[in-house]
Amino acid sequence: MNAPVEIHEEGASARRPLLEIRDLAISFKTSGGEVNAVRNAHLTVMPGETVAIVGESGSGKSTTALAAIGLLPSNGRVSGGQILFDGEDISHASEKRMIELRGNSIGMVPQDPMSNLNPVWKIGYQVRETLKANGLPDSADDVAKVLSEAGLPDAARRAKQYPHEFSGGMRQRALIAIGLSCQPRLLIADEPTSALDVTVQRQILDHLDKMTTELGTAVLLITHDLGLAAERADKVVVMYRGQVVEAGPSLELLQNPQHPYTKRLVASAPSLASRRIQAAKELGIESEDLLAPDEDVVVASSMPDEVLQIENLRKVFKLRSGLGRSTDFTAVDDVSFSVKRGTTTAIVGESGSGKSTVAQMVLNLLAPTSGKIIFDGVDTSTLNSKEIFAFRRRVQPIFQDPYGSLDPMYNIFRTIEEPLRTHKIGDKASREKKVRELLDQVALPQSTMQRYPNELSGGQRQRVAIARALALDPEVIICDEAVSALDVLVQAQVLNLLAELQSRLGLTYLFITHDLAVVRQIADHVCVMERGKLVETGSTDDVFDSPQQEYTKALLNAIPGAGLMLPPEVA
């Protein structure tokens, strides 16, 4: 595809760009030969400017960013073009030179926190190592300050903990702290807030804005969140299949997209004006809103019984506080709600509010300190091992961190087939057919079966996790940030798939998410959690249109790009 690139901005700045990429080509050596991942890519980032790269998973966004900081995998290389940093061509710079640039000159916030934090080092030690390597003060107070600026509460105590003791959002904030600690001239941020709730997201983005204003730090932001790009970026660069297809001022480009691919991206972005996920087209229904579905479609209203009842749920953890002492931390505090069969209930709240802890207790992966979880009329705490095995087939999870939940030693076929084999479903041929169908459903090519998790992008890994969860045709799916790593096109496709399956089969979803735009699309009911407590609950329309609690209002007000008005032809 060699469609001409539409450039919206006029004229060229007299200032020298801090980062300039000219006709960049990147290729990878594979068993089948050399593959071109990026070709003829170009972009400029001026000092103090924020430039967002958007596009679907596999479009070359992260690969381009990694090339700019010299962190391409060993089988990748810059095969053409130039990468100029402050006028210096670094496209083929030595490792010694790149080490000199990393930190004070070019910082990086990677996408996947669990695979980028050392699991055997405390968080504070990892921040201190970064400060030391760049000749900066590295006292305990300096470390706590860095973590606090990245939005981590009680930073001095948290610095003494390990990555596995943090939630996904807290781990992401630790990575952001490391990336910002040296106040780099250019910060490459690869989905830096995808795991964060909207209030912490705003805090981090405000901090980035402060750096660009006061220190002149430039930011190259890789994101799938078009609302965030519209609100925070000066310019947007759209990539598709390794090429830049459109670039220009952010609001102008997103309100008036010229390239067909950009129009698709904008049309697929979640909108707060949406009331329910649009799956009617997939079902062949004339109506565009599943609130008024065809009579033949199984929906929640025809199956009103409660499949899940959460009663006075409480979870207390023991936290180390040094010198062999421990303190109690109440992660979930007297939470009660119910989920009707065939509906979607969303649990929202800040990182650390207890959302994922509730999900893990519902999945019987964590034992409640007190309270009950009743599934289909049975208290799950009374199940024996055989009954728990049957329960696991009926209730399946989609976890937040796909890299941590996929076995790196299994190829994708074995990963998706494993639950079928474990539950003795079908023979080898039927299981392979099922895996191929599942890959089609989550928009992955069937050739993916022979690849391994480390060979896939974050979004592709999440699609594999979703396919695995769907393999057993469960009745209830617990989605813990299930679409947070996906670009808007795949996100829309996956949400449509989930809604279609729910409508046809009466599936029930418990959706843990910080993305309130997705909540507005897919959820029937919303539970708002703050510091372990349930502070507000109700129908999605009631909570969004008439929030009763100040905390809920703050969450809604913090949504990036909520006021972005899309043109009629793509809205």
Q: Which of 553, 537, 518, 103 has its CA nearest to residue 269?
A: 518
| pLDDT by 10s per residue, the chain, length 571 | 444 454 444 444 447 899 999 999 999 987 777 888 899 999 999 998 999 999 877 788 889 999 999 999 888 899 999 999 999 999 999 999 998 898 889 988 887 766 788 889 999 999 999 898 888 888 999 999 989 887 788 899 999 999 888 876 788 788 888 888 888 899 998 888 766 667 777 777 787 787 778 778 899 999 877 778 888 899 999 998 889 999 999 888 888 888 988 888 887 766 543 333 343 334 443 323 333 333 333 333 344 478 899 999 999 988 776 666 778 888 999 999 999 888 899 998 887 788 889 988 999 889 999 999 999 888 998 888 888 888 988 998 887 766 677 888 999 999 999 999 988 888 889 999 999 998 988 778 888 898 888 888 767 787 888 889 888 888 899 988 877 767 777 777 777 777 777 776 678 999 988 777 788 878 889 999 988 899 999 888 888 888 888 888 888 877 765 554 444 444 4
Distance CA 49, CA 234 (A): 6
Whole-model pTM: value is 0.61
| Among the four given CATH numbers 1.10.3720.10, 3.40.720.10, 3.40.50.300, 1.10.150.120, the one describing domain 6-105+186-268 | 3.40.50.300
DSSP 419-452: HHHHTT-S-HHHHHHHHHHHHHHTT--GGGGG--
Exposed (0-12), middle (13-18) or buried (19+): which is 98, by Cβ within 10 Å? middle
Distance CA 190, CA 13 (A): 26
Residue range(s) of every CATH 3.40.50.300 domain in the chain: 6-105+186-268, 280-403+476-557
Distance CA 209, CA 206 (A): 5
DSSP 201-244: HHHHHHHHHHHHHHT--EEEEE-S-HHHHHHH-SEEEEEETTEE
Residue 421 one-letter amino acid: R
Report residue 550 as tokens: 């100040």
Q: C-alpha distances in angstroms, 398 versus 147, 403, 479? A: 29, 12, 5
DSSP 75-126: TEEEEEEEEEETTEE-TT--HHHHHHHBTTTEEEE-S-HHHHS-TTS-HHHH
**Other CB atoms within 10 Å distance of the CB of residue 216:** 13
Judge whether 327 and 321 are in contact, CB under 8 Å.
yes
* 508-530: b (≥16 Cβ within 10 Å) or e: bbbbbbbbbbbbbbbbbbbbbbb
Rg (CA), the chain: 24
Distance CA 490, CA 498 (A): 12
> In 250-365, which ranges are E strands?
306-322, 325-340, 344-349
Residue 566 DSSP symbol? P
Judge whether 505 and 529 are in contact, CB under 8 Å.
no
Distance CA 175, CA 156 (A): 16
Asked whether the CA dihedral 393, 398, 399, 405 is positive or negative, the reply is positive
CATH 3.20.20.140 fits domain 280-403+476-557: no
Judge whether 557 and 533 are in contact, CB under 8 Å.
no
Q: What would the 3-class secondary structure string for 25-49 be?
A: EEEEEECCEEEEEEEEEEEEECCCC
* 350-361: b (≥16 Cβ within 10 Å) or e: bbbbbbbbbbbb
* 32-47: b (≥16 Cβ within 10 Å) or e: eeeeebbbebbbbbbb
Judge whether 245 and 238 are in contact, CB under 8 Å.
yes
Quote the pLDDT of residue 300. 36
Report residue 389 as tokens: 């095995």
Distance CA 381, CA 111 (A): 37
Distance from CA of residue 107 to its chain's centroid?
21
Report residue 205 as tokens: 């983005």
Q: What would the 3-class secondary structure string for 234-275 be?
A: CEEEEEECCEEEEEEEHHHHHHCCCCHHHHHHHHHCCCCCCC
